[in-house]
Amino acid sequence: MHLILLFSNFYPSVQKASHSSTTGLQTNFTMVLTVHHLGISQSERILFLCEELAIDYKIIHHTRDPIAAPESLKSVPGNSTGKAPFIEDPEAGITLSESAAICDYILAKNSAGELGRQNVGKKLAKSYGEPGYVDFIYWYHFSNGTLQALMNRFTFFEIGQIPEDNMAQKFSMHGLHETLRIMDERLKNNKWLAGEDFTVADIMSVYSLTSKRYFGPLVSFKEYPNVVRYLKDIGDRPAYQRATEKGDPAMKLLLGAEPPEKTLIQAGGVKSDLWRKKSNI
């Protein structure tokens, strides 16, 4: 069936689906996945997951207006928060938001399919009793519970024009550097966050270390060489390359140590060229 993913930013929504779709390739989803993707947003996580699992899907693009989600995303039936990520699965008749919940749903459904790919989702998640399970669930939830929560503060500081010498700014910056130090130490002896196996914990974390930096803070990662190595390894994954090329083909990827020269908020949103790849013409 088709799974319809509509991307919204932060809050959950569970509704009955009302969309129709056409039959796609044979995967554990017996309908094609339709992805409503908000450019330069955490909805890229779901594209990345689908590419890793080779799920057949199509994308409907939504462009920020000029920073917030546009009316086209807010008006999608069932998307009560008007944000991303948001999915609709016509086969099950449900809609769902929150990126971690969507990842859990896709992995659970894909690993339980009847089309000869029953265990395809297992490679991206670890189950209770498996070696590395505790590390996996810790870093999986670290992505939103600690890392992105900190990164989001700086977006709000930027919108509110809070000066850098403000105590809240200083406290948050200290917390961010401590978080990066912890990640750098973890990645010193581990290829991926959960260990030697790439998992959905990495899919959930990479957005905050890359595209999210367009919204602040403008912090260099040069003090964290293992994080920088990790981002290079992410960028080398064919699934990540396909996901970003399909989801944000014009976006300059932030896979190195340095942040953009300014935030999209400072630049006035996506109408600026800040985030765009340089033309070869």
Residue 272 covered by a domain:
no
Residue 176 covered by a domain:
yes
Can you give the CATH number for the domain in which 237 is found?
1.20.1050.10
How many distinct structural domains can be found in the chain? 2
Residue 274 covered by a domain:
no
Residues 213 and 144 grouped into a single domain:
yes
Residue 42 covered by a domain:
yes
Cis status of the peptide bond prior to 70, with omega within 30 of 0? no
153 to each of 142, 160, 196, 219, how far by Cα in Å? 16, 10, 31, 14
Residues 161 and 56 grouped into a single domain:
no
What is the pLDDT tens value at each position of the chain, 281 positions in all?
A: 455 444 433 333 333 333 333 223 334 566 677 778 899 999 999 999 999 998 888 888 889 999 998 888 888 888 888 888 888 877 777 888 889 988 998 888 887 544 334 445 558 999 999 999 999 999 999 999 999 999 999 999 999 999 999 999 999 999 999 999 999 999 999 999 999 999 999 999 999 999 999 999 999 999 999 999 999 999 999 999 999 999 999 999 999 999 999 999 999 999 999 999 986 44
Tell which of 91, 124, 157 closes a domain.
124
In the numeric block, which tokens belong to residue 190? 């581990």
Prediction pTM value: 0.86
Tell which of 69, 94, 124 closes a domain.
124
Residues 214 and 150 grouped into a single domain:
yes
DSSP reduced 3-state for 54: coil
